[in-house]
Structure 1
Amino acid sequence: MDEPIVINNFIGGVMVPCQDHIDSHDPSTGLVWAKIPDSGQAEVDAAVNAAQAAFEGWSCKSAQTRANHLLKVADILESRLEEFAVAESRDQGKPVWLARIIDIPRCVLNLRHFAHAIPHHLNTSNVNPEMGVVNYTLREPQGVAGLISPWNLPLYLLTFKLAPALMCGNTVVAKPSEMTSVTAYMFCKVLQDADFPAGVVNIVFGRGPSAGQALITHPQVPLVSFTGSTLTGKFIAQATAPMFKKLSLEMGGKNAAVVFDDCDMESCIATLKRSSFINSGQVCLCTSRIFVQKSLFKDFLEKFTAVAREVKIGPPSDKDVFMGPLNSKPHLEKVLRYISYAVEDGGQVLCGHGVEILDLPPQNKEGYFMRPTIITGLSDKSRCMQEEIFGPITCVTPFDTEEEVITRVNDTPYGLCASVFTSNLARGHRVAHKLKAGTVWTNCWLVRDLDMPFGGVKKSGLGRESTQDSLEFYTEAKTVCIKI
């Protein structure tokens, strides 16, 4: 067995050792493969101090100068794509091919997109000849941005926050998930190699209750962007309310797909295979409820179950594997509990855990694997139909009418995204307008445009992220009025 990687914090442009560490496990084997700093108040204070010291110099640079720094980082990251993809796979559990074509390329895109887009949206002006004045606005950075990113898309979602925060002139203290910190640590080395100004980006590793809480409650951190569970988002909102911090919270989902009987069945099933089971169902946008029109229900269920049974599960390095392990042992145990809940609530497990044998190589027997699981026969109020599972489990249920299914889809505390499958585009528009979700896809899934707002309603989120929305979040508008 290889010696575990020992990770350091990145503060003021240098790697800073930490006295205490957390074990990080390779999800495919269950073995410790990295030692993560167990940071707390002292490390966060040092990082915030470094970010504050760097703020004036960074915020005074032109948008183009800031863009040039980000573009250099993007180029270096792209040149190391394979190294990062392999590390992201081992750390998170996703197949290498998935990290290679989605995660790391999207990191590069995040950096380049905001570097190119933000400079064109910073300021506006207006001339009022009757009053003899010129008004113009400034979008001013706010200081140190606290960024907390999750374990399912580690570097992908970190850079989605980091790039606009930096382009708007803020400095940053980021805390990645302690379960997936390796690529963020590698990214620190990219920043060093790109001669990124010291202190502008600081990354502190550690647990939520220690490092995370120290960051969100720090009096010199005026804004916090968080992606993760609704429970943690609620805690952040409560903890920061007396401090009047600016918050962006992207949280849980209980995402539905609506399948009408005039859909393209083959395309629909292929899409739902991805939306239900990609990244082992560990994407906030994954589909966990599928409503199928009654006339199509039996045929759909047979074909969808057959497709799920064919999904190959195994080592993430295998190019033919569609699903690797879940990220951690506690998370696997939590997801499997929901299968027990489904049985208790009267559901039928059609395929997946407990129905088919999971055959793994000897070195992966202690990994956190499970089969994609399809459940039917549950009421809309059952736990599996109401609560976020965040794993490769999806529940399929029939419906009769358009009006009925809209009511049923909306009957959850969440509202992140939904999908509609129909060849009737008028119906597609109608249903999309009535679903209470931040994003609705029609005849597709996870087609993202960074210029379009992203976020949820109800318990799925607060605020939006996109070119314009992120610009507004990471800055404050100032109006200047000058008498001509």
Structure 2
Amino acid sequence: MNPEECCESGCVPCVRDRDGEEPLDLMNYIGGEFVPHSNDDWLNVLEPATGYRFARAPLSGEGDVESAVNAAISAKRSWGELSLGERSSWLDRIADCLESKFEEIAALESRDTGKPIALARSVDASRSVANFRFFAELLREQEEEEFEMPDATNYVVTKPVGVGALITPWNLPLYLLSWKVAPAIGMGNTVVCKPSELTPMTADLLMRVVDEVGLPKGVVNLVHGNGVGAGAPLVGHPDVDLVSFTGGTSTGEKVAQSAAPSFKKVSLELGGKNASIVFADCDIGPTVDGVVRAAFLNQGQVCLCGSRILVERPVFEDFKAMFVDSVERMEIGDPSDEATELGALISRDHLEKVQGYVDLAKNEGGTVLTGGEPCLPSEFEHGNWMAPTVIEGLSHQSRCATEEIFGPVVTLHVFDSEEEAIEMANATRYGLAGSVWTSDLERGKRVSSSMETGMVWVNTWLHRDLRVPFGGVKDSGVGREGGRWSLGFFSEPMNICVKHD
């Protein structure tokens, strides 16, 4: 559609191609081959920063899912019979190949998601390689457990679950896909991947890597598409044995409902409405820096972001002034510029959702201290841009303070006691993560243990160790992944008891 043909209300998004640039047509990867999908329907892949189309992804259907699952079934016996050491070597080969494409990963991720190139390089590309290396090493460390009885020995052996459905979101595409693929195939499963239709590019790159290293056919398969056409048939397929899903809570509910009748193993990493608790005795300079990073990394489009900032009254005004000043000095603009700190939001629909919450905050009595409106750098007038937004004056029980916005919008709240801070932090349906900022480490640990979350950082944020469990409570998910928890989810323990003579 040409811009002139768009409806005046903007309800029909324009498809704009750069002069002389043809969009790249992606393909599914099934049974060790890149194959066309079974219909003529496509999904446009747009640059969030500019609105230009640069690729098309297949709008796959049930037939494509069936082919991918069948390919995974055909490979699962031979792949599952390999030793942990043999499979760990395959993970190392994938890591080596990914590392050779490090800059390509970063550039694709920045273009596909709208995030700054520096972030795509330091987080997305680095972690994607690290995930395969980490799980390769962890596999080599695994030992069979034995439990002695007076007249018998019990052996605990791990077996693959079978065929896994791995469904990943748009905010950290390869970071999270590699987080699932590595332990899944490392423990002997075969998988069908379904990346977000908004950000399919690095999933395609991973399939090129899998193909390049010669991974046995059918071990890793990929079907592009949306949730209705590809995601739902994949989750509900009777021959899929496990589902690992990262995404929104409402979609997670549907995944759980679909998987339940056949008793599939399910891991759900869902939304968050995380609190950053700032006590008066904190080192305020580093705390402001840390809380700004926690609030706005990746334009606030990270499930772990601290979007509720609770500040003890004696330092509230000083913290607020320093925080707003720091936010207003953030570099917003071209994602390909090394100096850029804040990029574009993922889509026009998401931008409108975030703007809707800012409007709601105003209606609820909130005061916008900075931001609150779309910002459009002149060279990116058709992109999805939102200024980082700080709001005060809302109740901690307001919708904007309890619902996940998933954008560059934070609310400030004041508290007078440790008990009040804990009560405010827990006043949400979510329970993914949080952070506590204080010079009293005993208080930091005490408050952390009282928070209804799966993870808490003290005087830091997103300080990740891949050996520890990752996941949330309440409406933030079911199960844990990371380290041995990932290996446990992607395997079935079996007890063999041998009677002594």
Q: TM-score when scaled to structure 2?
A: 0.94
> Does the Cα contact within 8 Å between 1:121 and 1:468 map onto a contact in 2?
no
Deviation at 1:123? 2.4
Deviation at 1:127? 2.3
- 1:49-83 CA-to-partner distances (Å, cap 9, x unmatched) read 00000001100011111111111110011011001
> Does the Cα contact within 8 Å between 2:156 and 2:493 map onto a contact in 1?
yes
Deviation at 1:393? 0.4
The letter for the 2-side match of 1:388 is E
Correspondent of 2:133 among 109, 112, 121: 112
Equivalent residues in 2 for 1:85-104, closer than 5 Å: 85-104=106-125
Q: Does 1:290 align with 2:309?
A: yes
- 1:234-288 CA-to-partner distances (Å, cap 9, x unmatched) read 1111122111111000000000000000001010111111111110000000011
What count of residue pairs does the alignment treat as equivalent? 479
**Residue 458 of structure 1 aligns with which residue?**
474
Correspondent of 1:172 among 168, 186, 191: 191
**Residue 487 of structure 2 aligns with which residue?**
471
Tell me the secondary structure at the aligned position of residue 439 of structure 1. Answer: coil
Tell me the secondary structure at the aligned position of residue 158 of structure 1. Answer: helix
> Does the Cα contact within 8 Å between 1:118 and 1:467 map onto a contact in 2?
no
Correspondent of 2:350 among 319, 327, 331: 331
Equivalent residues in 2 for 1:101-180, closer than 5 Å: 101-121=122-142, 123-128=144-149, 130-131=150-151, 133-180=152-199
> Does the Cα contact within 8 Å between 1:28 and 1:93 map onto a contact in 2?
yes
CA 318–71 in structure 1, closer or farther in 2 if over 3 Å, else same: same
**Residue 444 of structure 2 aligns with which residue?**
428
**Residue 50 of structure 1 aligns with which residue?**
71
Unaligned stretches of 5+ in structure 1? none
**Residue 52 of structure 2 aligns with which residue?**
31
The letter for the 1-side match of 2:397 is K
Deviation at 1:467? 1.5
> Does the Cα contact within 8 Å between 1:81 and 1:104 map onto a contact in 2?
yes
Tell me the secondary structure at the aligned position of residue 484 of structure 2. Answer: helix
CA 42–122 in structure 1, closer or farther in 2 if over 3 Å, else same: farther
How far apart, CA to CA, are the structure 1 residues paired with 2:28 and 2:272? 32
How far apart, CA to CA, are the structure 2 residues paired with 1:122 and 1:244? 29
**Residue 306 of structure 1 aligns with which residue?**
325
How far apart, CA to CA, are the structure 2 residues paired with 1:232 and 1:122? 37
Correspondent of 2:377 among 346, 355, 360: 360
The letter for the 2-side match of 1:49 is N
**Residue 273 of structure 2 aligns with which residue?**
254
RMSD: 1.0
> Does the Cα contact within 8 Å between 2:85 and 2:139 map onto a contact in 1?
no
**Residue 319 of structure 1 aligns with which residue?**
338
> Does the Cα contact within 8 Å between 1:122 and 1:138 map onto a contact in 2?
no
> Does the Cα contact within 8 Å between 2:166 and 2:243 map onto a contact in 1?
yes
Correspondent of 1:6 among 5, 15, 25: 25
Deviation at 1:483? 1.8
Correspondent of 2:219 among 200, 206, 215: 200
Q: Does 1:41 align with 2:62?
A: yes
> Does the Cα contact within 8 Å between 1:451 and 1:466 map onto a contact in 2?
yes
State percent identity of aligned pairs: 48
Deviation at 1:122? 5.3
Q: Does 1:377 align with 2:393?
A: yes
How far apart, CA to CA, are the structure 2 residues paired with 1:302 and 1:83? 40
How far apart, CA to CA, are the structure 2 residues paired with 1:440 and 1:187? 31
Equivalent residues in 2 for 1:54-93, closer than 5 Å: 54-93=75-114
Unaligned stretches of 5+ in structure 2? 1-17
Q: Which runs of 4+ in 1 moved over 2 A?
A: 118-123
